[in-house]
């Protein structure tokens, strides 16, 4: 290929090396030099004008492939949830999922832990791994049978795969669409107590500790859940957890007008849980920020709240919302890109997410101060169902590179 690009005069943001001034030299699809370096005569030169140059986002746990939304949001790699049609539970489907994004997107399939995500019979993890699966997951559902979940963790552990789990005890949640509390009561919505999450987290942590497997809880959203994860980490359990901006910045009060854009899974929590989530980001309990991207059209959202589908379009707003954590001094900018790129890459076992020499040249150039307003009608996603509709934010992706190839 012999493609050489010199990105110069940038503010480099690396989760491993911190913040510095300089540039990045891309040769073919890799980072060949960082900081100050001699620019080859034949290199294409791009003046970054002091803007932030950081690893492109690795979005862990998306439900739909949505190229325009991903590129607008600075995302070049996604961990695709197994909840597809058909479910990603056999090698042919896994292999196809891994290939459909090329050449504009790296797709890392998360294979179903059980056949059809039914929570009963184990899927062929080894074969699915050979076909391209980077992890195994329970999907958007909980495996109720503890014996099955233990086998999932043990089998995945033997293969060196992380198990990505949904943490809500289905026996308690039932048909609930909201968290039990004043808001749900006033709205007359079927609701479940927040302890449904802690019960699921506690069981899966105990099984992960017993088997020695790596467990990633895709979303932890309650104070009790964070306490359990925090304690497990201190004991040496191989656990990580994630969260979306919705559960960091919104409480169940956002549902008060019955707006179905706020119908999410897990549901929005009480304000005390939201504050606990911010504290968990600050103290390192939360490892991953993800979009939970699940665009839903009018046929799924223009319904009574309890009848509507859960999900939000989160890919193109993820970065701008996450930058709010930096402005509020909850995390540093380099730590933010650990949450958005390095840590999700580690969960998937992919050697990216930093600006180290030899790493894939998956990069984004960012103007972190550029203002814009989230408008559900103007998002480029397949659907604009965002609970942040109308919110002013800051942060725009100026350039995006996947393996050294410019996408934006």
Tokens representing 161? 């795969």
Would residue 357 count as lying in a domain?
no
Tell me whether residue 399 is in a domain.
no
What tens digit of pLDDT does each residue of 81-119 get?
A: 999 999 999 999 999 999 999 999 999 999 999 999 999
Strands 178-179, 239-243: pairing is: unpaired
- For each successive 10 residues of the chain (408 residues), what is the average pLDDT? 89 98 97 96 96 98 97 98 97 97 96 98 97 97 97 98 97 97 97 98 98 98 98 98 98 95 97 98 98 96 96 98 98 98 98 97 98 97 97 98 95
**The two three-digit tokens of residue 76, written as one number:** 């070049």
As for how many domains the chain has, the answer is 1
Asked if residue 378 is part of any domain, the answer here is: yes
pLDDT number for residue 3: 87
Contact 47, 300 (CB under 8 A): no
What per-residue confidence (pLDDT) applies to 66? 97
Backbone angles phi, psi at 287, to 5 degrees: -105, -25
Classify 139 as helix, strand or coil: coil
Which domain range does residue 248 map to? 57-351+368-392
CATH number for the domain that contains residue 68: 3.20.20.140
The DSSP bridge partners found for residue 135 are 110
- Residue 1's pLDDT is 53
Do 190 and 172 touch, CB atoms closer than 8 A?
no
The reply to whether 132 falls in a domain is yes
For 146-275, list the strands marked E by DSSP.
163-165, 178-179, 191-192, 215-217, 239-243
Does 401 map to a domain? no
CB 316 within 8 A of CB 378: no
| Model confidence pTM above 0.75 | yes
93 falls within a domain? yes
Taking the C-alpha atoms of residue 197 and residue 231, their distance in angstroms, rounded to an integer, is 16
Q: Specify if 397 maps to a domain.
A: no
The tokens for 317 are 């707003």
Domain assignment present for residue 151? The answer is yes
Task: Collect all residues with Cβ–Cβ distance below 8 Å to 6 and sequence separation of at least 6.
Answer: 23, 24, 25, 26, 39, 40, 43, 44, 45, 46
Q: Exposed/middle/buried for 271, CB within 10 Å: 0-12, 13-18, 19+?
A: middle
Looking at residue 370, what is its pLDDT? 98
């Amino acid at each position: 290929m012999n493609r050489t690009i010199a990105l110069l005069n940038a503010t480099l943001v690396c989760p491993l090396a911190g913040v510095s001034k300089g540039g990045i030299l891309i040769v073919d699809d890799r980072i060949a030099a960082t900081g100050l370096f001699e620019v080859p005569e034949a290199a294409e030169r791009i003046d970054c004008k002091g803007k932030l140059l950081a690893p492109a986002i690795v979005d862990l746990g998306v439900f739909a492939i949505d190229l325009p939304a991903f590129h607008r949001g600075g995302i070049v790699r996604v961990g695709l949830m197994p909840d597809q049609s058909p479910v990603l539970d056999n090698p042919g489907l896994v292999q196809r999922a891994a290939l459909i994004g090329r050449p504009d997107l790296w797709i890392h399939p998360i294979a179903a832990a059980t056949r059809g995500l039914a929570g009963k019979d184990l899927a062929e993890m080894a074969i699915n791994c050979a076909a391209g699966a980077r992890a195994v997951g329970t999907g958007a559902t909980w495996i109720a049978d503890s014996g099955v979940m233990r086998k999932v963790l043990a089998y995945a552990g033997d293969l060196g795969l992380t198990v990505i789990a949904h943490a809500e005890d289905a026996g308690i949640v039932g048909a609930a669409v909201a968290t039990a509390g004043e808001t749900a009561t006033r709205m007359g919505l079927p609701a479940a107590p927040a302890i449904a999450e802690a019960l699921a987290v506690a069981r899966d942590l105990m099984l992960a500790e017993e088997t020695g497997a790596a467990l990633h809880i895709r979303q932890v959203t309650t104070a009790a859940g964070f306490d359990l994860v925090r304690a497990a980490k201190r004991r040496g359990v191989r656990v990580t957890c994630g969260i979306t901006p919705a559960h960091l910045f919104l409480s169940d009060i956002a549902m008060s007008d019955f707006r179905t854009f706020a119908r999410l899974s897990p549901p929005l929590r009480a304000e005390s849980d939201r504050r606990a989530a911010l504290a968990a980001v600050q103290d390192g309990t939360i490892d991953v920020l993800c979009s939970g991207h699940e665009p839903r059209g009018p046929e799924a959202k223009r319904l009574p709240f309890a009848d509507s589908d859960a999900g939000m379009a989160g890919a193109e707003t993820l970065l701008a919302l996450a930058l709010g954590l930096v402005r509020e001094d909850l995390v540093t900018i380099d730590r933010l890109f650990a949450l958005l790129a390095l840590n999700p890459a580690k969960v998937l076992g992919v050697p990216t997410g930093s600006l180290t020499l030899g790493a894939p040249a998956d990069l984004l150039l960012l103007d972190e101060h550029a203002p814009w307003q989230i408008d559900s009608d103007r998002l480029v996603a397949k659907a604009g169902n965002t609970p942040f509709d109308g919110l002013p934010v800051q942060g725009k992706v100026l350039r995006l590179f996947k393996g050294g190839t410019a996408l934006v």
